[in-house]
A and B are shown apart, each in its own frame.
Chain A
C-alpha cells in the first residue's frame, strides 16, 4: 500500500482535525435531532454524532437541497428583472459520510454534470470535500456489497476514516484527500494498523446480510431480465401494498427528480426547484389528463427500472448504492431487495 495514501489519526486528535475543517468551510455531518440521526449543517464540533448507524436522510441534501432558489424575478414598471443567485463563497465539507452515500454522489455527478451542466449542483460540488467514515457494523438492511460498494469502500470519498481502536486508519481516495495529509494531526501508518483495518473490513463484510438478495446479481443480467419482464404480472403482485408516498425517493442517496415552480408575493418572487417523486400520481400526468403511469404498479416499476436498468445503461453505474434506507423506512416494508430477488427468479411468461 502506497504510504502516501494512508495515514493514521489518533482519536484524541479528531477534534483538532475537525477544527481545521470548521476554520475554512461550512461543515455538514451527522447530528441528533430528537430521536433521529440526521445529516445536517453543523455549527459546533460537539453536535457531531458518530458511531450511531447511518443518518435518516442522505448526504445529497447538502449538494441538492430539497428547496433551492434558481433565480428571483421582479415585475417593475420597466419590465421584468431576473436576478441570479450568488454562488456560495465558502467551501463545504461533508463529514462522517458513509461509503454508500459517498458512492451515491458519483451517480449524481453524472446526472447533473452530463449534457447541459447543472450549475447549482456543480458549483457546490467543485467546492466540497467528502470525509467518510467506514462501517464496522452494517445494518441488516444494508446491501452495498451487491452494488459495487462496501463498508470500507473509498469510492466517492476524499478521505475515509476506519476505526481501528484508539486510532482511525485514514485512506485518501483522491488527490484532494491526499492534500489533507499536510495537516499535522496525521501520523504515518504502520503495518499493524493496516492489518487491523483489513480485519475491520473483513468482519464488516462477513456480517452483512446476504439472504435478502440471495444469489440475485445486480448487473447486465438483471438489466436484461427487467426488460424482458416489463409487462409481467409480477409487478402487480409485488406492489399491491405500496402506499405511493415519497419516503423511498426522498431518503434515497441517488434519487434526483425535481419539480420547478414559481412562488410569488405581489410583484416579486422566486423560481425554485423542489424534490419530486416518480411515486406521486401527478408526476407524469399530462395537461390533457392522460397519465402513462396511472397506478402505483407502473410507478413502482419505474423506480426499479430506472435504478437497475435505465441508469446503468446510460451511465455505466448502478442507480442504487444499497444504503437500505428505503428498506427500513418504507411504511409497509416493501423491500427492494426482495423485489430484485423475485425478478431474478421469475421465468418470463
Chain B
C-alpha cells in the first residue's frame, strides 16, 4: 500500500512541476478513524498529505464540472466512468485533465462496521490486505474486508479505471469480482417481490429521507445550476418531507440520471439516514441496458442513449405498455 501511495504522490509531483496554476484533487487522511476525504493540492510541499486506502470512497469527479485550468485527479474505476460521462456532456475537457487511475479493491462501509461494534466507539483502525483490525473503546475486533465493502463495491464491474493517463495499483485477485457484463443479479430478489411489498419497502425508505440533498450534491452527474426541486415558477415538487414530495424527488432524480448513473454509490455514502437510494438507479441501469445495450461511462465514443435518437431505438413502451 505504501508503495502505491508513493507512486500517487510522484505522479502528482510530476504534474505540478509540469506547469503553473495546477490543482491536484486527491484524498487525504480524515479527522476520524475509517475516514479519508477529498483534498485540493497546489504546492509540492502539500503532496505529503495524499493517501490511498480503503476509505477513499468519495467520487472526486464531482468537483470537475465547469472547473477551469489544468487538473490532476485521482480516480477509482467508478469515478473514471463518471469522468467519461462528464467529458461527453461537456462539463470538463479531456485535455484539462491528467487522470491518475488507481485500481480499486473496494471501499469499506463505515456504517456496516459501526453496526457490528456492539455499541463501542471506534478509536483506531489498522487496514491489512484482507482484514481490518478495529480498536474499540473496550476491545479489538477483526473484520473480513470483503464482507464489509459497500454494496455497490460488491457488484462493481469496473474496478480498474477505464480512462487514465497513469494507471497504478492492482486489483487484488482475492476480492470477488462481478462480471464486466453486469448481470444485475443483486436486483433479482427484490424484483421477484410482489408489487405491494416493493411499494412498502420504497415507502419505508422514503420516510427516512430528510431532504438534505447530500445524495444529489455528492453525485458527480448532478451538476445543474438550478435543480428541479428549487424551481418555483413553476414549482415541480414540494420542499417538505411530505412522503409524496420526497418520493417524487428521488424518482425524478433517478430518471434524470438514467443512462448517466455509473453506480459509484456516492449518493448512498453521503446519505446520513441510511436510505437505500441506489436501488432505483440500479434498476434504471438495468432498463437502459435492456433497452439500449448501454452501460454508462465505458468509453468516450459511445453516445449517451437518452440524448441521442436512433431509428432502431426500442419502442416497446409504445407497443407493449
Interface residues, chain A, CB within 8 Å of chain B? 33-36, 51-53, 56-57, 66-67, 137-141, 207, 212, 240-241, 243-247, 250-251, 259, 261, 263, 272, 274-275, 277, 280-282, 327-329, 331-335, 337-338
Q: Are B210 and A137 in contact (CB under 8 A)?
A: no
B321 interface contact, C-beta 8 A: no
Residue of B115, B216, B218, B241 near A67 (CB, 8 A) is: B241
Segment at the interface with A among B35-43, B68-76, B181-189, B283-291? B35-43
Q: A36-B274, A244-B217, A247-B214 known; A333 and B30 CB under 8 Å?
A: yes
Known: A34-B274, A141-B32, A246-B214. A332 touches B37 (CB 8 A): yes
A241-B38 in contact given A247-B272, A331-B58, A331-B270 (Cβ < 8 Å): yes
Q: Is the CB of A56 within 8 A of B119?
A: no
A-B contact pairs, 22 of them (CB 8 A): A34-B208, A34-B274, A35-B115, A36-B274, A51-B119, A67-B240, A137-B120, A137-B137, A212-B31, A243-B62, A243-B217, A243-B218, A243-B270, A245-B213, A246-B210, A246-B211, A261-B238, A274-B239, A275-B210, A333-B32, A333-B37, A334-B37
Residues of A within 8 Å of B37, CB to CB, are 241, 332-334
B positions within 8 Å CB-CB of A: 30-33, 35-40, 58, 62-63, 111-112, 115, 119-123, 137, 208, 210-214, 216-218, 230, 238-242, 266, 269-270, 272-274
Task: Determine the distance from Cα of A274 to Cα of B211 in the docked complex, in whole angstroms.
Answer: 10
> Which 9 pairs from chain A and chain B are nearest by CB?
A331-B270, A333-B37, A245-B214, A243-B217, A246-B212, A335-B31, A333-B30, A245-B217, A241-B38
**CB-contact partner of B40 in A241, A244, A259, under 8 A:** A241
Listed residue (A35, A240, A333) with the most chain B CB atoms within 10 angstroms of its CB = A333
* A274:B241 contact, CB within 8 angstroms: yes
Question: Bound state CA distance, A212 and B35, in angstroms?
Answer: 14
- Alpha-carbon distance between A66 and B63 when the two chains are bound, in angstroms: 30
B32 and A328 contacting across the interface, CB-CB below 8 Å: yes
Residue pair B212, A140 in contact (C-beta under 8 Å): no
User: Could you say which residues of chain A place their CB within 8 Å of the CB of B111?
Assistant: 35
The answer to whether B270 touches A274, judged by C-beta atoms less than 8 angstroms apart, is no
Decide if B213 touches A53 in the complex (CB within 8 Å). no
Complex: how many Å from CA A35 to CA B268? Answer: 13
Q: Give the distance to chain B from A182, nearest Cβ to Cβ, in Å.
A: 33
CB distance from B106 to the nearest CB of A (A): 19
Q: How far is the CA of A56 from the CA of B111 in the complex (A)?
A: 12
A36, B273: Cβ atoms closer than 8 Å:
yes
CB distance from B131 to the nearest CB of A (A): 21
Contact B269 A331 (CB under 8 A): yes
Q: How far is the CA of A240 from the CA of B63 in the complex (A)?
A: 9
Determine the chain A residues whose CB is within 8 A of the CB of B208 once the complex forms: 33-34, 36
Q: Are B119 and A52 in contact (CB under 8 A)?
A: yes
Least CB distance from A81 to B in Å reads 22
Give every chain B residue within 8 A of A66 (Cβ-Cβ). 210, 240-241
B210 CB contacts on chain A under 8 angstroms: 57, 66, 246, 250, 275
Which residues from chain B contact A338 at a C-beta distance below 8 Å? 31
- B274 and A332 form a contact (CB under 8 A): no
Smallest beta-carbon distance B107→chain A, Å: 13
> Which of B63, B122, B240, B242 is the one whose CB lies under 8 Å from A140?
B122
The answer to whether A263 touches B240, judged by C-beta atoms less than 8 angstroms apart, is: yes
A263 touches B214 (CB 8 A): no
Closest-CB distance, B114 to chain A (whole angstroms): 8
A329: chain B residues at CB < 8 Å are 272
- A56 to B35, Cβ gap below 8 A? no
The smallest beta-carbon distance between A138 and chain B, in angstroms, is: 7
For residue B122, which residues in chain A have a CB less than 8 angstroms away from its CB?
140
A140: B residues at CB distance < 8 A: 32-33, 121-123
Instruction: Quote the shortest CB–CB distance from A243 to chain B (angstroms).
Output: 4
**CB-nearest residue of chain B relative to A324?**
B32
B121 touches A137 (CB 8 A): yes
Most buried by A among B31, B32, B111, B213: B31
Which of A51, A245, A280 gathers the greatest number of chain B CB atoms within 10 Å? A245
Residues of B with C-beta under 8 A to A331:
58, 214, 217-218, 266, 269-270
Residue ID in chain A nearest B210 by CB atoms:
A250
Is there contact, CB below 8 Å, between A138 and B121?
Answer: yes
Extra A-B contacts (8), CB below 8 Å, given A51-B119, A247-B270: A212-B31, A243-B217, A246-B210, A263-B238, A331-B266, A333-B36, A337-B31, A338-B31
Please name all residues of chain A whose beta carbon is closer than 8 Å to the beta carbon of B274 when the two chains form the complex: 34-36
Docked pose: A322 CA to B187 CA in angstroms: 41
* CB-defined contacts of B270 to chain A, threshold 8 Å: 243, 245, 247, 331
